[in-house]
A and B are shown apart, each in its own frame.
Chain A
Amino acid sequence: DARVTQTPRHKVTEMGQEVTMRCQPILGHNTVFWYRQTMMQGLELLAYFRNRAPLDDSGMPKDRFSAEMPDATLATLKIQPSEPRDSAVYFCASGLQGQGANYGYTFGSGTRLTVV
């Protein structure tokens, strides 16, 4: 089974520190999403990319969050500086859109971030 790989699985950091989360989408997938999961808000879309170009990052706090795809095999989500309210599980998902493809997306295992 092809998988979306996220690293690290867990991260504990102090407030003010930079956090970088990485995602390796499934080879050949052209769409990548970043979601944040909390008990209060559920799954919030932070950003998504198609063919490495950002399509929508309106759900992302711009002052501290940034998302990039330096190449087709890597997506990154960075928080600088981190705050306790950023504590959540961050999921990456990838899928194939276009050319008649009509599938659901595949999710990674998530990065559980704790900011103390």
Chain B
Amino acid sequence: AQRVTQPEKLLSVFKGAPVELKCNYSYSGSPELFWYVQYSRQRLQLLLRHISRESIKGFTADLNKGETSFHLKKPFAQEEDSAMYYCALRAGGTSYGKLTFGQGTILTVHP
């Protein structure tokens, strides 16, 4: 079984401060991890994938297999970053392609 945990339901920071959204996972196979963002009442959008090792809108995330974590980080938060963020894990094996989400973290960046 696969599980994704985002321990913080709400996270508030001030503009310019660093931000880290936590994500831990449980999966017996080799995981594929993603971060999705949902701006107010809009569709979910893919933010980044661990396999790409990319930086999008200043956000980065590193897969740490030892700690089974995939935390999302940004050194200087902006007001436009305020949104709901979901961490997701895509399964392989017999459940190949199944995408499981964490509970989500609402990030609020104050001016």
Contacts and interface: CB of A to CB of B under 8 A. Distances in A.
Contacts, number: 52
Report, as a range, how many residues of chain B touch the other chain.
Answer: 20 to 34
B99 A105 contact: yes
Interface residues of A, number: 24
Interface of A: 31, 33, 35, 41-43, 45, 48, 50, 55-56, 91, 93, 95, 97, 102-110
Contacts of B98: 45, 48, 55-56
Given A42-B101, A93-B99, A109-B42, 14 more contacts: A35-B101, A42-B102, A43-B101, A45-B99, A48-B97, A55-B95, A55-B98, A56-B98, A95-B97, A97-B96, A105-B46, A105-B99, A106-B46, A107-B44
B49 interface: yes
